Structures are given as structure tokens and as C-alpha cells.
Amino acid sequence: MKLYDGGKILIGLLVFAAIATFPFYYNIGKVNAKPEPKLDTPAILQLPEQERKCVESKTFMRTEHMQLINNWRDSVVRDGYRQYVSITTGKHYNMSLQNECMRCHSNKKKFCDECHNYMAVKPYCWDCHIAPKEDDKS
Amino acid sequence: MSMDRRKFLKLAGISSLLGLGATAASASHNVWVKGLEPPQVEPNKEALKAEHWAMVVDMSKFKTEEDFQKTISACHTTHNVPDFRNADGTVDIKDEIKWIWKAKYEHAFPDQENPYMDEKIKEMPFIVLCNHCENPACVRVCPTQATFKRKSDGIVMMDMHRCIGCRFCMAACPYGARSFNYRDPRPFIKSENKEYPTRTKGVVEKCTFCTERLAFGKLPACVEAAPKGGLIFGDLADKNSEVRKIVETSYTIRRKPELGTGPSVYYLIGGNEHA
């Protein structure tokens, strides 16, 4: 069997393969970099080691924070209940994204955006809520 | 294998029972899906409570332009209300956002029209705001229940998260108390109050009787900033409250009461002396 213009076809195939797989080479190592939300804000560092706890446990907050915040919002806006009693600690919290969550997590870019960008989710919290001021050094 | 009707129904019944049981069990396990209910949430201890919040506006206490401006800007700075005024002071009426503002007598009380009335009252600006109606038209038309009447104290609230910007409420409100964000308000907010959110393009906003301040035991911002006794805020359902006493003892009028909305803002025009 004879392959007419074999050289051109093979080169063409190679070029095609190179272009088609380019995104994979290009992103090797980059995309897989795990997001690492930072917890080193001044407000958190000020707390003694044992009290550096979020409203609920870390694992819970990781997977359920959106649901929790949604429920906080409904509770405050619609029912007028503003105090949250933590299941894990029994402590009371003021249910407010802007005034309570961000009091500790004042680093929106390194805390919220770090994972949200990685997961390509775009919550619209900050269309209305005012994020704490941050330096643009990152 | 064939199945007769009776067998099929039995099987369907049993499996639906099991299915229902399973969903009920998972719902009770997961508090987050259901939403938050007491005792996991509580109202603030210092919150001011009432059955029916109402306001009396004593127009005799508003004497100078400054009295009006102080009252209005207190509200508008607290709630991050944008200022769309151009450099020359004009404003495109469509864009304007207002929670509390000045209106002429003929616009505030069009049903009270009288060609020979006191010139002073006729020209006097009146403080107007959302009337927090007993039977609010805006709530009735809202397709998403973004605006709703709080059962606990009668405040007509806005849930900005739910507003889809259809503006039915603006058409329904007979007082023009609602403003639509035709533009992104953020660049037009002179000084941001970091403790209160702004709004976004495409939602309707209005006065909320400062629910966020009442929850922390504070009176509404306008009441605090108004000249002493100019705005009186209290529980109309409470016989001993100041607002109730004024409404019972003096002649007060409300805006367009004939529409049956039951406004909760009362106007004292003659201006009797009281506390």
C-alpha cells in the first residue's frame, strides 16, 4: 500500500496532535496546585490557639458553608432571628456575612476567592455586600 | 412474569411508604436542608419589639432646610443609598433612589386638595417615606415574595436576594416609595457604611424602618437625626406608646387612606405641643 503525500500527512497529523494536546502540556502542574485558603488574618492570629474555631467544625464549614450562609440569610432577613447558636460549641454568633464572617476572615482574596476561583464558582455575595479593604500585594 | 393489578398496587404502596420514610429520616438528620429554627437561632436580646411599628411625623418641628437634609442624609448614608445628582444638582428622575424624601403637599396628599388652603402648608415640603402599610399592595403583587410583611411587627421588608427586578411593586405602591436600580449604585455612594450592604443593579429598594438597627436596640436613623420630636417612632398597638397617644389625642392625617392600604405613617400638621 502506498500513502500518497505521506510526508505531508504525517507532519500535518503531528502538528494537529501537538496543537490539540497543547492545553494539557501547558497546564501541567498549574491547575493541580491545590487551593490553600489562608487563615492568617490579624483577627485570627490575635485569638489564643484553642479559640481559633469557626462557627462550626472545619470539615462542616468546608462542605456546608454555602448552605449555612443561605440559612443565615433567610433567618435574618425573613424571620428576624439574628443570633446563631453553634451546634459544636454552643456559642452565640451574630448572623452576618459582612459583619461577622469577615470580621475574622478579612482576607477575601486569599480566603474566599482562593477556592471559588479553583472551583470556578462565582457567588454573587459581593455584588451587594461590602468586602473588607485589602492591599493588592498578592 | 406478569403481575396483577392488586399485586402492583400493594408493591407501589409499600415502596412509596418506604420512600417517604427515607426522606423524612434524612430531613431530620440534616438541619441545613430545612433551614434554621429556634432554638438554633434566637432574636437579639437587646432588640426593640413591637406589634405594629408606626411613625408620627410632626411637620411643625421641621423648620429649616437643614432639618430636612439632616434627616434624609442620616438615612441615606446609613443605608448606602447612591446619590445620582449631577454636578449642577439636577438628577434624572428615573435613576433617583430615595428611601425618605421631601414632597409637596399636593403630591403627598392629593386627595386633600383645596384651592384656598393656607399658603404656608401648601408650599411646605413634607417628609415622606414608605408607609409600611397594614395591607401593602407591593407585597400582594411581588411574584417572588422578595417584599413581604413581617408577621412579628408589621414592617414591610425587602429581601434583596430574591428580587428579580420586575418592578411590579413600584407600579403597585401608591406612594412612590420604591426605587429601582437602573444603574450600578456602587460608584455613586459617597461614603460607604461598611456595616450595611449596598444594592446591585436590577433590584428595587425602599425604607425598611431600619430593621437592622431595631434588632440592636436602636431607633431608626431618621428618627435619631430629625429635630427633637419631629419623627416619633413606636408601637401603635401599645396603648401607652407615644405614637398611640398622639394619634388618639391629636388630629393626624395619613397619605391616601381611601385606597385601603392602611399606612402606618401619620402626619401631624397643626403641630400641638407634646413630648
With respect to residue A105, please indicate whether it lies within any of the assigned structural domains.
yes
Residues A102 and A83 in one domain: no
Residues A110 and A81 in one domain: no
Question: A4-8, B18-22, B155-159: lowest mean pLDDT where?
Answer: B18-22
Residues A107 and A80 in one domain: no
The residue extents of the domains of chain B are 5-34, 53-268
Q: Do B194 and A92 touch (CB under 8 A)?
A: no
Using alpha carbons, select from A56, A134, A81 the residue that is nearest to residue B150: A81
**pLDDT at residue number B27:** 43
Residues A86 and A105 in one domain: no
Q: Do B197 and A99 touch (CB under 8 A)?
A: no
Q: What pairing do the DSSP bridges indicate for beta strands B156-158 and B179-180?
A: unpaired
Q: What is the mean pLDDT of residues A16-38?
A: 86
With respect to residue A33, please indicate whether it lies within any of the assigned structural domains.
no
DSSP letter assigned to residue B111: G
Full-model pTM: 0.81
Distance from CA of A120 to the nearest CA of B (A): 21
**Rg of chain A taking only CA atoms, in angstroms:** 24
Residues A72 and A86 in one domain: yes
With respect to residue A30, please indicate whether it lies within any of the assigned structural domains.
no
Q: Do A83 and B160 touch (CB under 8 A)?
A: no
In degrees to the nearest 10, what's the CA dihedral of B142, B147, B149, B150? Answer: 150
CA–CA dist B245, B238 (Å, integer): 9
Give me the domain span that covers residue A76. Answer: 55-95
**pLDDT at residue number B25:** 46
| % of chain A surpassing 90 pLDDT | 65
How much is the ipTM here? 0.81
Q: What is the mean pLDDT of residues B155-180?
A: 96
Residues A65 and A89 in one domain: yes
How many beta-carbon contacts under 8 Å exist across A and B? 74
Distance from CA of B59 to the nearest CA of A (A): 32
Buried b (16+ CB within 10 A) or exposed e, B64-90: eeebbebbbbbbbbbbbbbebeeeeee
Sheet holding A92-94, edge to edge: A92-94, A83-85, B41-42
Q: Which three cell numbers stand for residue A87?
A: 451546634
Q: What angle do CA B240, B244, B248 make, to 5 degrees?
A: 115
Q: For B210-223, how does the pLDDT look when each residue is reduced to its tens digit (9 = 90+)?
A: 999 999 999 999 99
DSSP letter assigned to residue B134: S
Q: Find which of A67, A68, A78, A133 to mutate to test the B interface (most B CBs within 10 Å of its CB).
A: A78
Tell me which of A62 and B274 has the higher pLDDT: A62
With respect to residue A111, please indicate whether it lies within any of the assigned structural domains.
yes
A68-77 CB contacts, 8 Å cutoff, 24+ apart: A68/B32, A69/A97, A69/A101, A71/B32, A71/B35, A71/B36, A72/A96, A72/A97, A72/B36, A73/A97, A73/B161, A74/B35, A74/B36, A75/B35, A75/B36, A75/B41, A77/B157, A77/B159, A77/B161
Work out the burial of residue B233: count CB atoms within 10 Å of its CB; fewer than 13 is exposed, 13-18 middle, 19 or more buried: buried
Q: Do A74 and B198 touch (CB under 8 A)?
A: no
With respect to residue A1, please indicate whether it lies within any of the assigned structural domains.
no
Q: Which three cell numbers stand for residue A101?
A: 464572617
CATH number of the B53-268 domain: 3.30.70.20
Residue entry with cell 461590602: A130
Q: How many domains are contained in chain A? A: 2
